[in-house]
Amino acid sequence: MTKPPLNTTLRLLRQTENDAAVPVLLAGLDARDPHVQQESLRALLDRRSVVGQREIVRRLHRLPAQWKPLLEERRSRLESALRDALLGEEEQARHNAYYAVVWLRQYDLLPVLLTMLESQQCPEPEQVGQTLLHLALRLDGDLHGIRNYKDRRDPTRLRDFVLGALEKSVLRWPQHHRDEVLESFLILAPRDHVLLKRILGDPFHPCYLKLLEFLGHSKREPILRLLLSFLEDPTAPSSALQTLARRTDLEFLQYLLSKIGYQPSKIAAANLRRIERIAWADPKLGVLDRLQEAHQYSAVQMLVHSRVPRSQVFEALKHLVRHGAPAGRRAAVQALADFPGAEANQLILQALHDPDPQVQAAAVSQLRRRNIPGALSLLVEALDSPHSLVRHAAAEALPEFRFSRYLASFDTLDDVSRESTGRMVVKVDSNALIQLREEMQAPARSRRLRAVEMAVAMGVVPEVQNTLISLLEDDDHLVRVEAVEALFYGKGAEVDEALHRALNDPSVLVQDAARGVLQRRQQSGQAAQFDQGNFQI
């Protein structure tokens, strides 16, 4: 433990205005006691001694790691010494400064790095360029990461300051040709930056091709983010959109297709319509096969919203229908709705046998509009699919087989048509039985009578027999007679019980009808076995 007199001495050395304290504190950096070392460092930083700060920079490569928090806390006090080291001739100090500028996020020194990089006498242009890039990346991290409010520096204002310096250096690029300047500019520039849009809009600008090269090949996340942001820019430069469509690297495509998602936004869709060529659309390149399932779906959305020739889009869709992941096949089959022709029809017929029910449903929904031979038979077959999605799609494709239309035309149909159409209505319209029961309870006798006939024609007496049994109490004896006749097709003991009760109906016609139905049921083996003594005949 440090003795109190030593603490007093260190405090005095930190506070005195006598410059003779600096050599003593520098010696303290080499003391055996770690506490003395750290307090000497703290005192040198607090004194703001140029000599002391320069010595700290010289020693940065061998300072203990536990001193780093103290240096980060007082980083602004090393700025002058770091500038001197960058511009100085001492190699070790300069290398320490390269490291410290990035580590301590000394953004105010970026103009110094640019001056060095543009100079013909720059001693280590590669290292200076890399320091510039890493400093730009650190600032981008501050802008897009979680803000540390203990650091009072506003990252947005710092970016404006840094961009001002970078912008001037970009304009001087034809003289120095340092690509790190352009890359740093792209890392930090927003899509609406005036100079950026001016360059991207002018093919004759000296930096035009080099900027497009970075946008077309860089794997750095800020540059990928910048390129993607043009998709949502209402005034996006055409060069940026074409560059975006030329990239085939999976890392970028994952960002791009995730951004498009299930459906592009209105602005993105408008920009996609400006794209006439998408490099990865050619199935021969194999990019489509390497995409994740969700990204295959988004790839289809991008293709169909673009102005890529329809023949090329069709080839991509054909490939995905045959070889894509489930989500890719779904999107491709859905997109085929806009592609007529025999080859597209054949793909739809193939999709009917796809293992994915959603793909089947998408194909079923297109059968009739394509006028495919045998479409009606295929739809009827789909109505019996084990998958509810496929059954629903088939029902949606058969709007003429709705209960309301069947009801309206029932009286004009012959017996054969009533039966065949009625069977289809039951399969197609999931609400048919509900509406039929409602008709059986309608106020008008004619509607109730028609509803009973419809139940027989549709072959659904067992499904609505409870409602038919309730009609045996109807006020109109003709309705009761028709209900009795219909119950011939009913099932179960409750039907026979109801028919035996009808033998005591006040109307002779109802009694006769009930007796006849019971006999026919007995002969056909449909009647349940009862103790006849329990019924009055």
The Cα 260–Cα 269 span in angstroms is: 9
Given this model, what pLDDT does residue 454 score? 94
Question: Token pair for residue 387?
Answer: 């998958």
Determine the length of the chain.
537
Domains of the chain listed by start with CATH number = 1-104 (no CATH), 403-534 (1.25.10.10)
User: Closest Cα partner for 107 from 74, 73, 142?
Assistant: 142
The answer to whether residues 40 and 29 touch, using CB atoms and an 8 Å cutoff, is yes
What DSSP letter does each residue of 47-111 carry, written as one string? HT-HHHHHHHHHHGGGS-GGGHHHHHHTGGGGHHHHHHHHHSS-HHHHHHHHHHHHHTT-GGGHH
> Comparing 50-64, 107-121, 257-271, 351-365, which segment has the lowest mean pLDDT?
50-64
pLDDT recorded at residue 29: 65
In the prediction, which pLDDT does 503 show?
Answer: 94
Averaged pLDDT of the chain: 89
Q: Give the pLDDT confidence score for residue 149 in this predicted structure.
A: 57
Amino acid present at 170: V
* pLDDT confidence bin for 27, thresholds 50/70/90: low
DSSP, collapsed to helix, strand or coil, labels residue 207 as coil
Residue type at 167 in one-letter notation: E
Among 346, 357, 418, 419, smallest CA distance to 382 is for: 357
Is residue 444 scored above 90 in pLDDT?
yes
CB-based burial label for 142 (10 Å; 0-12, 13-18, 19+): buried
Q: Are 60 and 41 in contact (CB under 8 A)?
A: no
Q: What is the pLDDT of residue 11?
A: 60
3-state per-residue secondary structure call for 292-329:
CHHHHHHHHHHHHHCCCCHHHHHHHHHHHHHHCCHHHH
d(C-alpha 203, C-alpha 111), whole Å? 28
Average pLDDT over residues 278-303: 96
Sorted by sequence, the CB contacts under 8 Å of residue 217 that are 6+ apart come out as: none
Distance CA 245, CA 274 (A): 10
Q: pLDDT of 321-373, one tens digit each? A: 999 999 999 999 999 999 999 999 999 999 999 999 999 999 999 999 998 88
Residue 129 to residue 303: CA distance in whole angstroms: 39
pLDDT for 536 equals 32
Q: What are phi and psi of 380, to 5 degrees?
A: -60, -40
**C-alpha separations of 16 from 43, 49, 315 in Å:** 10, 12, 81
Q: How much of the chain, in percent, has pLDDT values that exceed 90? A: 72
CB 423 within 8 A of CB 384: no
Note the pLDDT tens digit of each residue in 240-281: 999 999 999 999 999 999 999 999 999 999 999 999 999 999
